[in-house]
Structure 1
Amino acid sequence: MSVTRTASATGSYTTTDINIVVRQFTTDLKMIASSTRAMTEKAASDYGADVELLAANGYLKAVDLTQIFGGKEIRAVKYYVDANTGTLKSARPGGVRWPELAGSEIRIVMSHTDSFNAAVLQSLYGRLNINWGFTSVDTSHSSLNSSGGRDYASNGWGMRREDWS
């Protein structure tokens, strides 16, 4: 099944465009998993599949990945969905080889659009790989410094990545 959405007069995208961009996100996540050893590649793939499902259904606003060690944030990246990417230039995945710290963990928080709620989450049960729940965790990364970012885009859909260290 293919869905076409018109984002504006200057751009449109299909689920294929979402797949292309989310594949770049998932590549970053696999690099983080590999370098930190805080997550398996299979888990990274499962998270990527869930991000793709939510994005394709218009529920995804942002995804935040944070390496936590000893209760403190070490590194973070946040991917903001941009459904009108006329200004984004797509980069190659990378720049996320985070330190291997025994006992560190990777926290993943997805921010959703207003159309996503508990009923929608329940309707997706069995299609999502991860047992997601709602949270109010702070993802501002106020203890870290901004350290650049990258853009991933295909036609009218993209993700803008901001990095913190």
Structure 2
Amino acid sequence: MSVTRTASATGSYTISDINIVVRQFTTDLKMIAASTRAMTEKAASEYGADIELLAAYGYLKSIDVTQMFGGSEVRAVRYNIDESTGAIKSSRPGGVLWSELAGSSIRIVFTHTTDLTDAVLQSLSSKLNRNWGNSTADTSHSSLTSSGGRSYASNGWGMHREDWS
């Protein structure tokens, strides 16, 4: 697949830039999986590959990752997509060594552009590792407190991570 996207006058990026940034997201997800034991590393890799594919097509706005325990949120991070990052400095992945809570789970919800219709998602299903569907999950994290974040970027494409605990 060959994809090139051009952002506003602040910069341009290629599929390689998207891959670099999404791999930082995937590293975070693997750290979350390893520390919580609520997801396997293989599942984290599969989610990362799906996010990389959807990002390459320009379908993503944000990805929300939440540790759930007993129906309540414990910790969360949201990665907001930025297609014109300009000259922000990219952070190193990390800061997501979450507590292991027996019986907890990891919820991953992405928001997407209007271009990602149900029909498009269905057409991509053979390329995706996980089954994705519509969600009504509240990702406002109103029960948690904002606790910082990081930015990941390569040329004009990036993700701004917001953390809650």
Global fold match (TM > 0.5):
yes
- Runs of at least 5 residues in structure 1 that lack an aligned partner in the other structure: none
Tell me how far 1:3 sits from its aligned partner: 2.3
Aligned-pair RMSD on alpha carbons?
0.8
TM-score by length of 2: 0.98
Runs of 4+ in 1 over 3 A off after TM superposition: none
2:6 maps to which residue?
Answer: 6
SS in 1 for 2:126: coil
Tell me how far 1:87 sits from its aligned partner: 4.6
Cα distance in 2, alignment partners of residues 69 and 87 from structure 1: 38
Alignment of 1:1-150 (within 5 A): 1-150=1-150
Cα distance in 2, alignment partners of residues 117 and 3 from structure 1: 19
Cα distance in 1, alignment partners of residues 141 and 88 from structure 2: 24
| Matched residues, number | 165
TM-score by length of 1: 0.98
Cα distance in 2, alignment partners of residues 9 and 140 from structure 1: 32
Question: AA paired with 1:101?
Answer: L
Identity %: 75
CA offsets per residue over residues 136-156 of structure 1, 9 Å max, x none?
211000000000000000000
Q: Is the 8 A contact 2:10 2:85 kept in 1?
A: no
Question: AA paired with 2:63?
Answer: V
